[in-house]
Chain A
Amino acid sequence: MINLQPYANPRYFVILLIALLPLMIGLYYGHRFKWYEALVSLIFLVLIFDGSKWQQGVNLILYIVYQFLVTFGYQKYLKSGHNKTGVFYLMVILAILPLTAVKVAPVVPHNESITIGFLGVSYLTFKTVQVIMELRDKTIKTVNPVDYARFLLFFPTISSGPIDRYRRFVKDYNNPPERSEYLKNLQYGVRYLFQGFLYKFLLGYLFGTVWLPQFAKSALFSGHAAGGLRLSWALLGYMYCYSMYLFFDFAGYSLFAVAISYFMGIRTPMNFNKPFIAHNIKDFWNRWHMTLSFWFRDFIFMRFTFLAMKKRWIKNRIHLSQVAYLVNFLIMGFWHGLTWYYIVYGIFHASAIIINDIWLRFKKRHRKQIPHNKWTNAFAIFLTFNVVCFSFLIFSGFLSQLWFSWK
């Protein structure tokens, strides 16, 4: 049986582009063939989840049915004129429940190996929670079931984002672009596609498949010889190599997802904006995995600080922002998975951004005394880059392998 994992190899792109061609011709003439698009989406979803992956496919269907019950149950409740805070929290918890189960399952000892997750469950949850929060705020007035299904199951981004927003997606979906606009989309799409090939299949492959195992081998070897914290130059090499791999692999994938979306007349937001030229950690999070970090900013950080300020939980605003950073990045850590290195990664970034804020306040007070020129700027970029690469070393789980021989 044919099974096609998204963007896995050149064959996928050939088949995909042939399938999309009628849709693209339609868009060129200003029409969106919605039925055809639904059919293509369905076929490509089946191709992800068929064969040996059928169990994941069943889970996806159950998950969608469940989320529909939650979302439309909540919508019905709101339409009846109520809007209790308790009900809202309950709905958010219900929406997160399946993902929580998926993340907790691997650390709970059990006899049989049952699959409860599926490719994309982490990313779908962002979409469902976002819609519930916006329904509560009344920024989404009504969710249309068909639009909602298309939004959740939009196949170019289903496996790993970028994370789009419901209102933005539906607007693009229901208003096919003008011809000149669509031609521009195609132009960008082609560029992103080839940039993606360069990133994922060439650079990502070199860093991740060719060089990384060599650094790993020699870091493990010299680490065991060195004892103590098992540090070595090879470990430093591993850190930089892994960071490059992580960026090129994920940015490459994201470029594919954005390119295919553009071909389909949907302007899925970009995920990366030259993250390694960031001059501080705050700047970094405005450039790295942007749709994730903006989601956290809008739906965790800002909601939390808004509530805490309104209820006056924490009087001091500086302390409040520090607590909010910790909450924000801890949740992000847990979202990645329940292992020590993801959680430490979260705490590490929270600490880095808190220190960064302290420095920014200090700099503001002593603006006259602190020099600011291209050298200090270059140093800031260098420092940020190294802090970030170190955080990726934590994130990689390699330290776990090096120190405890498990990952």
Chain B
Amino acid sequence: MDTQTEVLNILSDLTGEDLSDQLDENIFETGLMDSMGTVQMLLELQDKFGIAVPVSEFNRAEWDTPKKIIAKVESLQNE
């Protein structure tokens, strides 16, 4: 599976919604995502991709749409 599908799977588990056609939706504003969901997501990303994102590194503005999350994961994987 590629990164995009994996991330979207994680997000759909967390939010209960398929976000593949809403890649630019601000998931914090729509209420799909909150702090609790964020922590779960970071842990899942750590498990699946081995990327460690400390919670103090987490800046909502950089992670607020599925597209941005995918891009973030991809750039962290290449580090």
Contact = CB atoms under 8 A, between A and B. Distances in A.
Interface of A: 130, 133-134, 137-139, 282, 297-299, 301-303, 305-306, 309-310, 317, 320-321, 324, 360, 364
Given A134-B56, A302-B39, A317-B36, 19 more contacts: A133-B56, A137-B57, A138-B54, A298-B58, A299-B56, A302-B58, A303-B55, A305-B35, A305-B36, A306-B39, A306-B42, A306-B43, A306-B55, A309-B40, A310-B43, A317-B40, A320-B36, A321-B36, A324-B36
B34 interface: yes
A329 to B, nearest CB: 13
Interface residues of B, number: 15
Contacts of B57: 137, 139
A354 B39 CA distance: 18
Contacts, number: 43
A137 B43 contact: no
B16 A364 contact: yes
Nearest to A325: B36
A298 B43 contact: no
Interface of B: 16, 31, 34-36, 38-40, 42-43, 54-58
Instruction: Tell me the dominant secondary structure on chain A's binding face.
Output: helix
Contact of A301 (B16, B35, B43): B35
B31 A302 contact: no
A306 B55 CA distance: 8
Nearest to A282: B34
A310 B34 CA distance: 18
A297 B56 CA distance: 10
A302 B35 contact: yes
Given A309-B40, A324-B36, A302 B16 contact: no
A130 B57 CA distance: 12
Nearest to A364: B16
B39 A137 contact: no
A282 B34 CA distance: 9
Contacts of A306: 39, 42-43, 55
Contact of B38 (A130, A282, A302, A360): A302
